[in-house]
Chain A
Amino acid sequence: MSEVKYFNPRSYSELTTLFSQLPKGFQTVAGTTDFIPAARRGVKYPVALLDISKVTELREIKEENNRISIGAAVTMAELVSNELIINQCPVLASGAKSVGSPLTRSRATIGGNIANASPSADTAPVLLTLNADVHLLATDGTTRQIPLAGFFLDYKKTARKENEIITGFSFPPPGPAAWTRFAKVGQRNGAAISVANMSMILKKDGDRCDDIAVAFGAVGPVPLRAASVETAARGTIFSDQFITACATAVQQDISPISDIRGSADYRRHVAANILARALTDAFAQGGVK
């Protein structure tokens, strides 16, 4: 039946050498934990599959020039257990750990989580709060690097062109002084898709919020930075009014829909609650880490 071509390069040079043979309409895959279920539900197979899961250079996590870079084919399990990630940005390890089950995490990649552009992708809000860039490579050999904040255009629509593949992500580490939190509400604890998720990176001086980055997923067509919350919180002294102001502000940032996992109203409540809980914990006595 199948005329689908399959390419499985093992290195970056093998990958770029392949480009001349790749037919138009190819699809890049890696862990295939989203791809196979989608194909089973009738999404048409592309003419060719470019499997980048074994490209050595795309499986690396490294720190260079005070930026952490993560290859697109790095798995969720690798993010969870990587020393550099655990030490420099535990919030990403925490986001990755909430994806699927241990079985899916051993295959699912960060590149796929972002390329798929599901609003509920758990690594998306984390990378947004880290001010991450997406690195893209086109089949004509050109590369570009764009902020993730400009990558998600609409529901499952991204700025990636048809002939481009995501090669990885890079961001400055938030630093040891930052207080970070990944929060997720799902329908159950194990292997659940987010009803709402949130990443927060906060810098404080005593009771004052010096700087803050907050992003949410599953409460709009795309994962998004909560600009109103950030404006309301930045430079403000922690208090009950501060919490109320932020919980009110978040309602302007999000535009949830009702679906099989929860109603729009429920998502609005949940988003405000995980935000308030995180802020309360951040300023709690001793500063819960």
Chain B
Amino acid sequence: MSINITITLNGKKKTLAVAPTQSLLSALRNNAKAKEVKDGCSDGDCGACTVLMDGKAVNSCLVLAPAADGSEIVTVKGLGTAEAPSAVQESFVNSGAIQCGYCTAGMVISATAFLNENPDPTRTEIREGLSGNLCRCTGYQKIIDAVANAAKKNHSQGE
């Protein structure tokens, strides 16, 4: 038995035929071919598969695909493009926050959701805010720099 779900993926409506036990991660990668969503542990520990679901950062591996019916999903591709990156994306590049890159998509999504809720964070708050995303290159300092720099930039643009 498959279930038809309709999601808005990076601004475009998509109807996907999913199994009741399929994860949103699998539906995004295999049905919608959104390969920018990375599969790390499939178990909610690593955060590589983080997407925005109705504005909130979630582990897409821990969401049942049918539960996403009617939701707005944003992946790292939905935040910006190579020509016009989002402030967070640009800051990750400029701060040297990318090593192997596997965690980056999830990190950028988590950082985006975090800064939306906390636009002027301390470094401790940034660490807590990104605590669901693991970087196995352990490039955390640069990642935290990137989020802090993005926050600063937001701040100065707002003034």
Taking Cβ atoms with an 8 Å cutoff, the residues of A that contact B are 1-6, 8, 29, 31-33, 36-37, 39-40, 45, 49, 51, 53-54, 77, 100-104, 106-107, 189-191
| With known contacts A40-B43, A103-B58, A103-B59, A32–B1 Cβ distance under 8 A | no
Residue in B closest to A10 when the chains form the complex, CB atoms = B70
Contact of B131 among A5, A29, A190 (CB under 8 A): A190
* A interface majority secondary structure: loop
| Assembly CA distance A6 to B20 (angstroms) | 6
Instruction: Check A106 against B56 for contact (C-beta < 8 Å).
Output: yes
| With known contacts A2-B1, A104-B44, A8–B62 Cβ distance under 8 A | no
B129 contacts A by Cβ under 8 Å: yes
User: Number of B residues contacting the other chain (C-beta, 8 Å)?
Assistant: 33
Instruction: Check B110 against A102 for contact (C-beta < 8 Å).
Output: yes
Instruction: Check A106 against B67 for contact (C-beta < 8 Å).
Output: no
Interface string of B34-55 (1 = CB under 8 A from A): 0000000011110100100100
Instruction: Check A8 against B67 for contact (C-beta < 8 Å).
Output: yes
Instruction: Check A49 against B64 for contact (C-beta < 8 Å).
Output: yes
Interface string of B12-46 (1 = CB under 8 A from A): 00000001110100000000000000000011110
Residue in A closest to B56 when the chains form the complex, CB atoms = A106
| Assembly CA distance A107 to B54 (angstroms) | 12
Instruction: Check B1 against A103 for contact (C-beta < 8 Å).
Output: no
Contact of B62 among A2, A31, A51 (CB under 8 A): A31
Taking Cβ atoms with an 8 Å cutoff, the residues of B that contact A are 1, 3, 19-21, 23, 42-45, 47, 50, 53, 56-59, 61-64, 66-67, 69, 110, 113-114, 127-129, 131-133
- Enumerate chain B residues within 8 angstroms of A54, measured Cβ to Cβ: 67
- Enumerate chain A residues within 8 angstroms of B53, measured Cβ to Cβ: 106
| With known contacts A5-B20, A37-B43, A106-B58, A100–B64 Cβ distance under 8 A | no
16 A-B pairs (CB sep. < 8 Å)? A6-B64, A31-B62, A32-B64, A33-B62, A36-B23, A37-B43, A40-B43, A51-B64, A54-B67, A102-B110, A102-B128, A103-B44, A103-B132, A103-B133, A106-B53, A106-B57
Residue in B closest to A104 when the chains form the complex, CB atoms = B44
Identify the 9 closest CB pairs spanning chains A and B, nearest first.
A101-B132, A190-B131, A103-B132, A6-B20, A106-B56, A4-B20, A103-B59, A33-B62, A6-B66
A210 to chain B, nearest CB (A): 35
Most B CB contacts (10 A, CB to CB) among A1, A49, A102, A190 go to A102
B136 to chain A, nearest CB (A): 15
Residue in B closest to A3 when the chains form the complex, CB atoms = B1
Instruction: Check B19 against A32 for contact (C-beta < 8 Å).
Output: no
Contact of A103 among B19, B69, B110, B128 (CB under 8 A): B110
| Assembly CA distance A6 to B114 (angstroms) | 32
Residue in A closest to B60 when the chains form the complex, CB atoms = A103
Instruction: Check B131 against A102 for contact (C-beta < 8 Å).
Output: yes
| With known contacts A101-B131, A103-B110, A32–B58 Cβ distance under 8 A | no
- Enumerate chain A residues within 8 angstroms of B110, measured Cβ to Cβ: 102-103
Instruction: Check B132 against A77 for contact (C-beta < 8 Å).
Output: no
- Enumerate chain B residues within 8 angstroms of A29, measured Cβ to Cβ: 64
Instruction: Check B131 against A107 for contact (C-beta < 8 Å).
Output: no
- Enumerate chain A residues within 8 angstroms of B50, measured Cβ to Cβ: 103
A241 to chain B, nearest CB (A): 38
| Assembly CA distance A75 to B57 (angstroms) | 13
Instruction: Check A51 against B66 for contact (C-beta < 8 Å).
Output: yes
Residue in A closest to B67 when the chains form the complex, CB atoms = A51
A26 to chain B, nearest CB (A): 12
| With known contacts A4-B20, A5-B1, A5-B20, A102–B129 Cβ distance under 8 A | yes
| Assembly CA distance A100 to B59 (angstroms) | 12
Residue in B closest to A6 when the chains form the complex, CB atoms = B20
Instruction: Check B57 against A4 for contact (C-beta < 8 Å).
Output: no
